[in-house]
Structure 1
Amino acid sequence: MDADPKRTVAELLQSAELLYDLGQVPDARAEADAALRLDPLDPDANAMAAACALADNDPDEALVYAGAALARTPGHRRAMITRGYALADAGRRDEAMQAAASLLELDRTSWLHHVHYALITRRAGAAQPALDAAWNAVNLAPDQPRTHRALAAIAEDLGMDDLAKRSRRAAADLDPGGAAAFAEALPPEARRVHRRWVDADRDDPRWREKIGSGGLFGGALGRSILLGLAVVFAVPALLGTGMDGGARLFFAAVAAAAWVGWFTVLRRHRNPE
């Protein structure tokens, strides 16, 4: 659908921001795309598209849009933040750490930058820097619930249960309404759309492409094949009492291998966030 000529880029981005904050990522992305059709080089529109792509578990696309925003406006805060998370999600640990550090170089007095530094480095697997940054955020803004929530999330990852509980309690005291939705209270850039184990929705016009994506055993089609093999070979292995012992052992081995493959692929395609 073409962008409404009566709506400006600013109006489209305002709508996208609201939808994004509400967790309606596809609708927010549609508004960002409409803004980009009006001005493909607009840094705010590119940064919003990057944030939506990241939330939709596509760090590579997020990096493209974030790069476009930074090319037009170096130091664009949202683009820098999104780029850091995207690099971490893409497994580019060293670059993610550098991107996180650039946030502190931009403004070391910003508690929000320390929160994002902590959560980006947490995703990149650097536990101690993440914990230190989370503490710095709390010290800079002890009255901000988000600093305590970030510290709680990182402490929980590190098995520091007492610290996590105290931090959650502090956040709840500062923001009683947000305590029940702790997981959703982290910065939007740290959230991801939860994927069902089936890659393609039934109403998605690209369902055929998505089912076969990722190679023979990389998508939903591959998982279905592995599951079918596991069931087909498990039945005679379990119920074929009249079969030769060697044959039953063979069927059992194939079924076990198919089950292992199915669980491995399923786990790889589930996003833990």
Structure 2
Amino acid sequence: MDADPKRTVAEHLQSAELLYELGQVPDARAEADAALRLDPLSPDANAMAAACALADNDPDEALVYAGAALAQIPGHRRAMITRGYALADAGRKDEAMQAAASLLDLDRTSWLHHVHYALITRRAGAAQPALDAAWNAVNIAPDQPRTHRVLAAIAEDLGMDDLAKRSRRAAAELDPGLAVEDNVHVMPPEARRVRRRLVDADKDDPRWREKLLGGGDDVPYWRRRTPFHGALGRSVLLGIAVVFAVPALLGSDMDSGVRLFFAVVAVAAWVGWFTVLRRHRRPE
């Protein structure tokens, strides 16, 4: 999206915020990029770009934008929150824990900060701190259904099913419009991620079968007869290669003839996978 000279940074960010809340991350990112073209140093625009990158499973890019926002305003709340999640997603657990703690240092009376602390620390692998923070959020805002839903999510993740059920019921009583089993859409936007799809085929797509298995009227006859033309077939070939390669390489106690057989099958599968990928692959 090109920056519209008639629209201000604030207007682009307002649109980005709405789209982001609705889960339309690519469109939100386009609005954030348009805002950044107008003002590359805008803390809010950088923070929004960071949030979009995080939602799109790119924690490294999210850290870059969050850092740019924090360089302008060290206490920028969205940037701090996004940075915490990004560090956890990037596997930098100790730094994620420190980033989460900085949220509480910023405002310990905020139930939202306790919610984010709980979710970030749980992503970083901490159990008890996450559970304690979720309880703190409920105690601070017992009439806020989202605190109960976050407690339910943390409890369920820790195998505390009874607590999870009670918390979901409490949230449903506070907001009857919430589906009791729906935890995803009541999570803070920063805790949501766009699901990666290896094959672009929706369940309602009439061409889902040929996208997954290969074939179709637009594919030449000789290619339709190839059993490994589709994404599923290529995955099978790759799986065979891996399964046979592991014992061939690591099976030191196996008979040499058996290891040689496994090696031959693995090499054949690798060659087949590579050949099919090069000759038969088309955009999916």
Counterpart for residue 66 of structure 1: 66
Query: In 1, Cα distance between the equivalents of 2:242 and 2:8?
Result: 60
Please, which runs of 5 or more residues in structure 2 have no aligned partner? 201-230, 244-255, 274-284
Counterpart for residue 15 of structure 2: 15
Query: In 1, Cα distance between the equivalents of 2:128 and 2:265?
Result: 43
Where in structure 2 are the equivalents of 1:39-188 lying within 5 Å? Answer: 39-179=39-179, 181-188=182-189
Counterpart for residue 193 of structure 1: 194
Query: In 1, Cα distance between the equivalents of 2:87 and 2:232?
Result: 28
Deviation readout 1:219-243 (Å, 9 max, x if unpaired): xxx9986632556899xxxxxxxxx
Q: Secondary structure, in 3 states, of the residue corresponding to 1:181?
A: coil
Verify the 8 A CA contact 2:172 2:178 in the aligned structure 1. Answer: yes
Query: In 2, Cα distance between the equivalents of 1:150 and 1:190?
Result: 10
Residue of structure 2 aligned with 1:227, choices 236, 250, 267: 236
Residue 33 of structure 2 corresponds to residue 24 of structure 1? no
1:197 positional shift: 2.9
Counterpart for residue 33 of structure 2: 33
Where in structure 2 are the equivalents of 1:192-271 lying within 5 Å? Answer: 192-198=193-199, 227-230=236-239
Q: Greater helix share, 1 or 2? A: 1
Query: In 2, Cα distance between the equivalents of 1:64 and 1:250?
Result: 49
- Residues 1:223 and 1:114: Cα distance change in structure 2 (over 3 Å): same
Verify the 8 A CA contact 1:41 1:68 in the aligned structure 2. Answer: yes
1:256 positional shift: 8.2
1:132 positional shift: 0.3
Query: In 2, Cα distance between the equivalents of 1:61 and 1:19?
Result: 20
Please, which runs of 5 or more residues in structure 1 have no aligned partner? 200-221, 235-245, 263-273
- Residues 1:232 and 1:91: Cα distance change in structure 2 (over 3 Å): closer
TM-score normalised to structure 1 length: 0.76
- Residues 1:75 and 1:226: Cα distance change in structure 2 (over 3 Å): same
Query: In 2, Cα distance between the equivalents of 1:229 and 1:142?
Result: 51
- Residues 1:169 and 1:9: Cα distance change in structure 2 (over 3 Å): same
Query: In 2, Cα distance between the equivalents of 1:71 and 1:233?
Result: 46
Query: In 1, Cα distance between the equivalents of 2:135 and 2:22?
Result: 28
Counterpart for residue 211 of structure 1: none
Moved more, 44-53 or 181-190: 181-190
- Residues 1:169 and 1:228: Cα distance change in structure 2 (over 3 Å): same
TM-score normalised to structure 2 length: 0.73
- Residues 1:19 and 1:254: Cα distance change in structure 2 (over 3 Å): farther
Verify the 8 A CA contact 2:241 2:266 in the aligned structure 1. Answer: no
- Residues 1:6 and 1:125: Cα distance change in structure 2 (over 3 Å): same
Moved more, 87-96 or 225-234: 225-234
Aligned length: 230
- Residues 1:39 and 1:128: Cα distance change in structure 2 (over 3 Å): same
